[in-house]
Structure 1
Amino acid sequence: MNVPVLPVLAFRAQMEDISTGSDSDYSRCWIAWFLSSKGNEYFCEVDEDFILDRFNLTGLNNEVANYAQALDLITDNLDDDIQDELRGSLDVQARLLYGLIHARWIVTARGLAKMIEKYKRADFGRCPRVLCQQQALLPVGLTDIPYEKSVKLYCGRCEDLYSPKSSRHGSIDGAYFGTTFPHLLFLVYPSLIPPKSGPADHGSTNASGRDTADRNRRRVRDEPEVPPAEGVGDSISTASVALKVERYRPRIYGFQLNETAKLQRWQEATRDRQVSRLEELERRGAI
């Protein structure tokens, strides 16, 4: 039987974090302990009022085992006499429940405000693409269903996705952020949309960040160009490669953004015309 990789990695990271936390911190405030654990830097604190409003948790009881006890653990209302072995498994369910609540929280007005603070500090990292010039990233899920895809990082400048550098962050479930968050943030706060050219405007601009950017630019400038190996790519069809390119499609609550969808349809129509032209040239032997 094939075991999904994501749940195994996430469970292993969770168990490591449990062993590093003290029992006193764990029992005093579960959310504070969870947010302070290594690997959970992407999460923000969900207001207690939001968690206690059962309307906000509609449907989660069908997705989380031991839902009532997991909710009591998150809100620090769990009985102290619960068995230790049950607490360990219950903590995994509490993490799942908090993650799903977190995905709903960050698309509210107060949740967006908290995530903007983290975005401006570049807590989610910066785009590795050289021409994006250290643009701050935002977390996004490829699906809203837990245990399917890990979290990815969205760059509003090149509009592409990247994997987190840290393995701890890479094991976070993408459903804990959802498919809507970064695109809704830019829709609500259009002033935060990064420019497509020129220096990046958002995120911290401390000295260490400037030094890192300078080092990266020097490294790219100084690295010699490596010529392609002979014979490599001779038998590869350019048109077939172009057709296999996968594009990320921003969505809000499952629907594509109107302007972005129009632009992508135009881009894909242009690509299809170019692919047809390449196929014709390949048939003639011109390529």
Structure 2
Amino acid sequence: MASNVTSPEHAADAANEIAGRLAVGEGAAMREIAYRLRRSGARASAPTIVWLGGYRSDMRGTKAEHLLAFAARHDYGYCRLDYSGHGESGGDFEDGTIGRWTEEAAAVLHEIGRGPLVLVGSSMGAWIALNLVRRAERFGVEERIGAMLLLAPAPDFTERLLLPKLSAEQRKEIEANGRLLAPSDYSDEPDVYTLSLIDDGRANLVLDGLIDTKCPVTIIQGMADPDVPYEHALTLVEHLPHHAVILSLVRDGDHRLSRPQDLDLITRSLSELVRAADDMG
């Protein structure tokens, strides 16, 4: 993993966020990753909450903005980023894979310093978070992750959630064309799934064994989620051997988990996890 920093934009807002860009990769694989960082004003050792968004989402979404307000209110660090091909970052979306996006997240974590981290992964972002933990030595984040909050987690979604739903015709299409277009419930544009995303997903599976996070994990999952069935969250719990694992099922919660009551549950859960990570500092 190669990276170098371009000059930050130094555009601070009322929550003291600074926008920056980070070059990741080399040669034709180089792409600029946009991130925003808020540092604690009072304590250099305060935990940093890290937002890891989902497939085709960006760092300006409802939950990401809500967590910025939470971090500012309690003076915690906060970092959010757009993966390549997403939001404000460079790169082609169809070049994106789980391994590539994990590499980008790791590069940003290196850039923001050495303090304790609380990873908040939403949907595919939970897979990125778990991939960082499962391969912590490879990505250089050993001993830094103090807690994890996983929202509607979709680890291994290409293998366990996407492929089983594809028809024989769709499988032939993705094999023949290297990509598949599918209607999206969240955008006028279709979702794009590439053969490289699926192949790389197999190389980055996390539910093929135990995932020793060495830190507390809280999972929030809607039982009315049409994209990630709550049984998938139960499967994830079976792979987490750490004793401090909490699963909160929201009976009428959907995949977004963005209603006021959902956001309240998220911040209440996050408060406990940040305090646990603070003990590392």
Report the TM-score, using the length of structure 1 for normalisation. 0.28
Report the TM-score, using the length of structure 2 for normalisation. 0.28
Structure with the higher helix share, 1 or 2:
1
Structure with the higher strand share, 1 or 2:
2
Determine which structure has more spread, i.e. the larger CA radius of gyration.
1
Q: Which has the higher contact order (CA 8 A, sep 6+)?
A: 2
